[in-house]
Amino acid sequence: MNKKITHMGALLLTILLCGSCKKDMPGVYSGQQFLEFYYDNDIKAVTAGYSTFFYKDPSVQYDTVLFHVRAVGTVPNKDSYIKFTAFADTSASPAYPDAVAGVHYVPFDNAALKLLWKIDADSFQAYVPIITIRDTSLKTSTYQLHFKIDQSDDFAPGNSNHTEGIVYISDRLSKPSNWTASFFLGTYGPVKHQFLIDQSGDRWDADFIATIGSNTSLQAYYLFKFTQALKAVNAARLAAGQTELREDPALATSAVTFPPL
Domain regions of the chain by residue span: 2-170, 190-254
8 Å CB contact between 147 and 92: no
Q: Which of 21, 171, 172, 151 is nearest to 91 (CA)?
A: 21
Q: Which of 46, 191, 168 is nearest to 96 (CA)?
A: 168
Tell me what the mean pLDDT of segment 198-225 comes to.
95
Tell me what the mean pLDDT of segment 59-66 comes to.
97
Which pLDDT score, from 0 to 100, does residue 26 have?
45
- φ and ψ at residue 210, rounded to 5 degrees: -65, -30
Which pLDDT score, from 0 to 100, does residue 4 have?
42
- List pLDDT tens digits, range 123-162: 999 999 999 999 999 999 999 999 999 999 999 999 999 9
How does DSSP classify residue 59? T
Residue 75 — pLDDT band, cuts 50, 70, 90? Answer: confident
- Cα–Cα distance for residue pair 142/55, rounded to 1 Å: 14
8 Å CB contact between 36 and 158: yes
Strand (E) or helix (H) holding 47: strand 47-52
Fold for domain 2-170?
Immunoglobulin-like (2.60.40)
| Model pTM score | 0.73
Please list, residue by residue across 124-138, b when 16 or more beta carbons sit within 10 angstroms of its beta carbon and e when fewer do. Answer: eebebbbbbbbbebb
Beta bridge mates, 146: 166
- List pLDDT tens digits, range 40-53: 877 888 998 889 89
- Cα–Cα distance for residue pair 78/33, rounded to 1 Å: 12
Q: Which of 124, 26, 149, 118 is nearest to 70 (CA)?
A: 124
pLDDT at 256 over 50: yes
21-25, 45-49, 189-193, 197-201: segment of lowest average pLDDT: 21-25
Angle at 149 between CA 98 and CA 210, to 5 degrees: 70
Phi-psi bin for 77: left (phi > 0), alpha (psi -120 to 50), beta?
alpha
According to DSSP, the β-strands at 125-133 and 118-119 are unpaired
- φ and ψ at residue 24, rounded to 5 degrees: -105, 115
Which pLDDT score, from 0 to 100, does residue 120 have?
96
- φ and ψ at residue 181, rounded to 5 degrees: -65, -25
Angle at 246 between CA 245 and CA 249, to 5 degrees: 110
